Structure 1
Amino acid sequence: MSQYDRFRFEYRSGVLKYGTGCVGELSEELERQGFRSGLVVSGSTVGATAEVIDPVIDGLDEELAGVFAETTPEKRLETAYKGLEAMEDNDADVLVSLGGGSSLDVAKVISVLAADDRDPTVVGQELAETGSISIPSGSLPPIVAVPTTLAGADQSIVAGVTATPKSGLNEAVSGGISDPRLMPRAIFYDPALFATTPKRILAASAMNGFDKGLETIYARNATPITDATAAQGLSLLEGSLKELGEQSISEEVLEPIVEGLLLVQYGISRRDGTTLSIIHAFGHGLTRTYDVQQGAAHGIVAPHVLSYLFENADGRRELLAEALVGDGSAAAEEIVESVERIRDALDLLSRLRDVDGPEPSAFPDVAESILTDSFMENRPRDFDPTVSDIEEVLRDAY
């Protein structure tokens, strides 16, 4: 008897290009897809770092329209409007996101804004009132992604965005956008570019990407397709992330990590939902109102969340054990210990008290926000957490 419910799997990934030096083929890929002029969208540090930006500029060759190096982790609406102006001034017809998830999110917002001529104040008010920005029908300017961190946000149809009083609002607001047309048309996974990112940034982002594979296995909308890619990706990441923690960054060390990252996120962001689940709900609860980096938050809570899950549900532990321990009959404790070893090898913190996060007095409110997070809807069907249960997990993690 099949372990899956009936499912419909609709997933339209962009072209996935992998290999050291593959960004040298950017121009070729743009031409193959009918694009003529790409605007690079990045943060200021990436834009000023020759070993990162130069290979991309060289790879775009005559298809380079210009560089917009003004994105920030806040993913501000006003930044996207500046990017839109740069896109129009340089007559670009494709956005080439370079760097982390923030630059990719800003590129997606630029794409949405380019579809019509709405006033920034109107768009900001809509974001404040609805938590999103409506997306016009028809085509959107395409996006090509060149990631340099390991968070695994590349094969995604969603983006976050914030707005401030500069957008005509009384206070800062945040929200998101989602549309299948926001899936990058091509993604270049080049280990040589990942190797330019500082190790501490790679380590924190790697925990976020790794957790996407864990969640995809036990999410209630798991399919045989996502099981296969996530399990293989986790198997690659299990050993290679420990090696990343122990060795200096090099293309050789990063190659299996980048390959695993590519696999664990395949199919996680689809028209009918996402496979992100409990750990990401905890991450949202800890990072929305506290200054905790998401990968660091995941590193702290993931072992505790998994322990709680396995105490109360099956959690697809057999498949996780096969991927992480190499033995499908391994005990739940061995799975948790494997995750802890990866977290420790990456030199990430292990206690909430050691980060700028909530104190125990705030746990009831944080637990409520975790339980009501949309990602909780993807929890296993035989798992029914309560606010008091989540508070206990937070106390264990503290």
Structure 2
Amino acid sequence: MTDLLRSFDYVFPTEICYGENIVAELPHRIKRDGISSVLLITDPGLKDMPFTRKILDVLKTGGVRCAVYGGVEANPKDHNVQSAAALAREKGAEALIALGGGSPMDCAKAVAILAPQGGEVRDYEDSSRIGEKILPLYTVPTTAGTGSEVTFSAVITDSRAKFKFTVKSPRIAPRAAFIDPQLSVSMPSALTAATGMDALTHAIEAFTARNANPLSDAAALHAVDLINSFLVRAVKTPEDMEARAGMMLGSLIAGIAFSHSDVASVHCLAEALGGMYDSPHGVCNAVALPVVMEYNLEYALDLYARIARVMGIAFESSEEGARRAVERVKFLAVEVGLPRFSELGIRESDFPVLAEKSAQNGSNRDNPRPMKSEDYLELLKILQRG
């Protein structure tokens, strides 16, 4: 159980606007803040989607000028941030809208700093350099996975060093998040599966992180319940709006949880893999989650047992509950058709570098089991054996 006597802060500056067709309220919310010109940041796959055109029409009708940057790559790169920030300055954008999954939203958070403050994006890895002049950000998620619509951190890839770094400050928290489960219906099943397992990773790591607190615990456990209940349905029956809503809310609530706790070794591995190989973040989290849970087992028996209870699993001891939670996570990954680690094309010769990068990750300190580079090397070998 989380130490109930330990001090903590809980800041939540983002307004949440949830419901079908909620994006119709976007122009009103933006104009209420005295803003008339925005830059919409998204990725190449979304910039010409019907719902993107609908949002642009809603903004135009509502009297908000909108330019579009549609070049965000998966695992957003530093040069994506630089290009979008240059366009924001050129167009005189007074605010930003991020549309899509975690990549556009993380990119937009960094642009919110860079456009008014200048410099290189990695300058702001040191949060003390983030000044007060930040462009307001409004988020519209189209995937149920990252929770980035409400978090105040952005993970960006240094394209030269092939290393993911984090820009983090409550100042870059979105001003408002517009969450409509209908926007996730167009996601392919494989993306639904990967992003859903990403959200489950957020919830489980938030609950077991050493920096957890009672409020993040409550959010994390509710998120586990929702994702466990609705992930398979969302993958197998994509038009099931109850399942889509359950996953959108599960992802959102998991985002609230880990932004006020932390993630841990699953993310350390996933970010190392994404930095070096540009591998999909959700897939990397999904394949690593049960293996890391098993590795952590003796350090988190009671925590994993509580997760098992939330998943509706009966057991007689904490050890049994913890092991059954790991088995349930393994089952979910197989049930939704996620690939094995050995299918990701990771070279064994890179394992030592990946292990070292994982150990250097800022979230490494919050894993329930103390982890060194040799532990990550062992995890990579276990993953490779499958």
Q: Normalization by structure 2: what TM-score?
A: 0.87
- One-letter code aligned to 2:93: A
Question: Which of 260, 263, 279 lines up with 2:266 in the alignment?
Answer: 279
User: How far apart are residue 19 of structure 1 and its match?
Assistant: 1.6
User: How far apart are residue 55 of structure 1 and its match?
Assistant: 3.0
Q: C-alpha separation between the residues in 1 aligned to 2:272 and 2:264?
A: 13
- One-letter code aligned to 1:32: R
User: How far apart are residue 230 of structure 1 and its match?
Assistant: 0.9
CA contact (8 A) 2:74 2:278 kept: no
CA contact (8 A) 1:11 1:267 kept: no
User: How far apart are residue 80 of structure 1 and its match?
Assistant: 3.3
User: How far apart are residue 133 of structure 1 and its match?
Assistant: 8.6
Deviations 1:100-148 (A, max 9, x none): 22212222222212223x4xxxx34x84x88669745233110001111
CA contact (8 A) 2:217 2:257 kept: no
Q: Secondary structure at the match of 1:160?
A: strand
User: How far apart are residue 241 of structure 1 and its match?
Assistant: 0.4
User: How far apart are residue 298 of structure 1 and its match?
Assistant: 1.7
Q: C-alpha separation between the residues in 2 aligned to 1:210 and 1:195?
A: 19
Q: Does 1:377 align with 2:372?
A: no
Structure 1's 193 and 286: CA in aligned 2 closer, same or farther, altered over 3 A?
same
CA contact (8 A) 1:325 1:334 kept: no
User: How far apart are residue 305 of structure 1 and its match?
Assistant: 1.0
Structure 1's 325 and 363: CA in aligned 2 closer, same or farther, altered over 3 A?
farther
CA contact (8 A) 2:2 2:212 kept: no
Q: Does 1:39 align with 2:26?
A: no
- One-letter code aligned to 1:160: V
Partner residue, 2:170: 180
CA contact (8 A) 2:22 2:180 kept: yes
Structure 1's 2 and 313: CA in aligned 2 closer, same or farther, altered over 3 A?
closer
Partner residue, 1:168: none
User: How far apart are residue 397 of structure 1 and its match?
Assistant: 1.9
Q: C-alpha separation between the residues in 1 aligned to 2:126 and 2:49?
A: 33
Matches within 5 A, 1:56-95: 56-60=55-59, 61-73=62-74, 75-95=76-96
Partner residue, 1:151: 146
User: How far apart are residue 317 of structure 1 and its match?
Assistant: 2.0
- One-letter code aligned to 1:100: G
User: How far apart are residue 17 of structure 1 and its match?
Assistant: 1.4
CA contact (8 A) 1:100 1:148 kept: yes
Q: C-alpha separation between the residues in 1 aligned to 2:104 and 2:370?
A: 36
Q: C-alpha separation between the residues in 1 aligned to 2:324 and 2:74?
A: 36
Q: C-alpha separation between the residues in 2 aligned to 1:39 and 1:18?
A: 22
CA contact (8 A) 2:14 2:173 kept: yes
Q: Does 1:288 align with 2:279?
A: no
- One-letter code aligned to 2:39: L
User: How far apart are residue 247 of structure 1 and its match?
Assistant: 1.8
User: How far apart are residue 182 of structure 1 and its match?
Assistant: 0.6
Q: Secondary structure at the match of 1:203?
A: helix
Partner residue, 1:358: 347
Structure 1's 131 and 95: CA in aligned 2 closer, same or farther, altered over 3 A?
closer
Matches within 5 A, 1:105-116: 105-116=106-117
CA contact (8 A) 2:164 2:271 kept: no
Q: Secondary structure at the match of 1:47?
A: coil
Structure 1's 39 and 368: CA in aligned 2 closer, same or farther, altered over 3 A?
closer
Q: Does 1:200 align with 2:187?
A: no
- Which range moved further: 60-69 or 226-235? 60-69
Partner residue, 2:221: 231
- One-letter code aligned to 2:111: I
User: How far apart are residue 218 of structure 1 and its match?
Assistant: 0.7
CA contact (8 A) 1:291 1:356 kept: no
Q: C-alpha separation between the residues in 1 aligned to 2:81 and 2:216?
A: 33
Q: Secondary structure at the match of 1:161?
A: strand
Partner residue, 2:336: 346
Partner residue, 1:392: 378
Structure 1's 82 and 245: CA in aligned 2 closer, same or farther, altered over 3 A?
closer
Q: C-alpha separation between the residues in 1 aligned to 2:83 and 2:257?
A: 32
CA contact (8 A) 1:304 1:393 kept: yes
Q: C-alpha separation between the residues in 1 aligned to 2:296 and 2:211?
A: 17
- One-letter code aligned to 1:154: E
User: How far apart are residue 313 of structure 1 and its match?
Assistant: 3.9
- One-letter code aligned to 2:154: A
Question: Which of 108, 115, 140 lines up with 2:134 in the alignment?
Answer: 140
- One-letter code aligned to 1:110: V
Structure 1's 152 and 63: CA in aligned 2 closer, same or farther, altered over 3 A?
same
Contiguous gaps of at least 5 residues in structure 2: none
CA contact (8 A) 2:199 2:250 kept: no
- Which range moved further: 227-236 or 36-45? 36-45
Identity %: 24
Structure 1's 136 and 311: CA in aligned 2 closer, same or farther, altered over 3 A?
closer
Deviations 1:147-203 (A, max 9, x none): 1122222222222335668xxxxx877644222211000111111111122222222
CA contact (8 A) 1:157 1:180 kept: yes
- One-letter code aligned to 1:63: V
Q: C-alpha separation between the residues in 2 aligned to 1:32 and 1:162?
A: 34
Contiguous gaps of at least 5 residues in structure 1: 166-170
Q: Normalization by structure 1: what TM-score?
A: 0.85
